[in-house]
Amino acid sequence: MDFVEKIKTELSNVYSKQELGSVVSLIFNKLAGINLTEILLLDNKKLSEKVMQKIESAVERLKLNEPIQYVLGQTEFYGLPFITDNRALIPRPETEELVDLILCNCGLDEKPVEILDIGTGSGCIAVTLAQKLKNAQVSAFDISLDALNLAHENAELNNVFVKFYHQNILKITDFEQKFDVIVSNPPYVTEEEKEFIKPNVLDFEPHIALFVSNSEPLIFYDYISKFAKNHLKPNGKLYFEINQNFGKNIVKLLKINGFKNVELKKDISGKDRFVLGNI
């Protein structure tokens, strides 16, 4: 059997027919440096033994449900390259929409703005904002040193400077700086929802990035909005990505914590996904 067909057969239990084509194309593109046409015309002998081994070991990992972004070690977010591995959550398309909401906040690209990303993970939000807003000074917090190291590598990869802080947002004291924008995509999956999470997420992505307790599902929204109330400049804006099941509760919480113009927005699939507010 030809090599490409063999790979497709091996992965047919992990991916649907529709997904298989793009997965195979990604694998060959990243690991063998060849595009779709070249794959179709592929003469097995043209691939070196070393490249075939690399592809085979990637396939073995994919067969165990490891996400392709970890196996290939990279992904794209908002058109920029990001290193991805199990030190942090894989950037999601919804989060690209969150970045878009911030970038559409007109005027941000003209003035020198200070931005803080809380729970930066791979650094996808902070690094993209620093790359797109040339006059912005971007800072980012995370409790995970692993995530901060990865985010730092992603800032270097994209040639931007982000000031990273090892901070636990639930315990922070003595932080003086004020910001024009505070953004966060905090952990928001409840323990109760764990049983609906697919094995490729549950078994590979860091649980500290995903889960909150059933008893305090909004803990991050409460602490972060209280922190933001004291660390946003006049007219500063807070942006959250949220669990679709808690939209109305988070709107209420932000109002109680002193925010004005609180808005609940849907993502591209029509789910409640973002909450914004001003001080």
Per CB under 6 A, 238 contacts ligand SAM: no
The DSSP secondary structure of 6-40, one letter per residue, reads HHHHHHTTTS-HHHHHHHHHHHHHHHH---HHHHH
Least distance from ligand SAM to the Cβ atom of residue 124, Å: 5
Query: What does each C-alpha distance from 217 to 22, 71, 75, 188, 221 come to in angstroms?
Result: 36, 31, 29, 7, 9
Residue 223 Cβ vs ligand SAM, minimum distance, rounded to whole Å: 8
Q: Which of 143, 157, 197, 201 binds ligand SAM (CB under 6 A)?
A: 143
CB of 91 to ligand SAM, least distance (A): 5
**Distant-in-sequence, close-in-space partners of 65: CB < 8 Å, separation ≥ 6:** 14, 199, 200, 203, 204
* Edge-to-edge strand ranges of the sheet holding 114-118: 162-166, 137-142, 114-118, 179-184, 232-241, 272-278, 260-266
Per CB under 6 A, the list member of 75, 122, 139, 190 interacting with ligand SAM is 122
- The single residue among 28, 62, 119, 237 that binds ligand SAM, judged by CB under 6 A, is 119
Distances (CA, A) of 17 to 9, 32, 36, 125, 162: 10, 22, 16, 32, 41
The reply on whether position 272 binds ligand SAM by CB under 6 A is no
Binding mask 185-224 for ligand SAM (x = CB under 6 A): xxx--------------------xx---------------
d(CA 258, CA 279): 7
Distance in Å, CB of 219 to ligand SAM, minimum = 9
Q: Does 277 bind ligand SAM (CB under 6 A)?
A: no
| DSSP H or E run through 224 | helix 219-231
Nearer to ligand SAM, 119 or 217 (CB): 119
Helices 247-256 and 219-231 meet at what angle, rounded to 10? Answer: 40
**By CB under 6 A, residue 67 contacts ligand SAM:** no
Show the tokens assigned to 125: 């939000």
Site for ligand SAM in 75-104 (CB under 6 A): 88-89, 91, 95
Give me the least distance between CB of 156 and ligand SAM, in Å please.
17
Instruction: Choose the stretch contacting ligand SAM; rule: CB under 6 A; options: 6-14, 27-35, 164-172, 269-277.
Output: 164-172
Q: Which two tokens stand for residue 76?
A: 């794209």
Binding site for ligand SAM (CB under 6 A): 88-89, 91, 95, 119-122, 124-125, 141-144, 147, 167-170, 185-187, 208-209
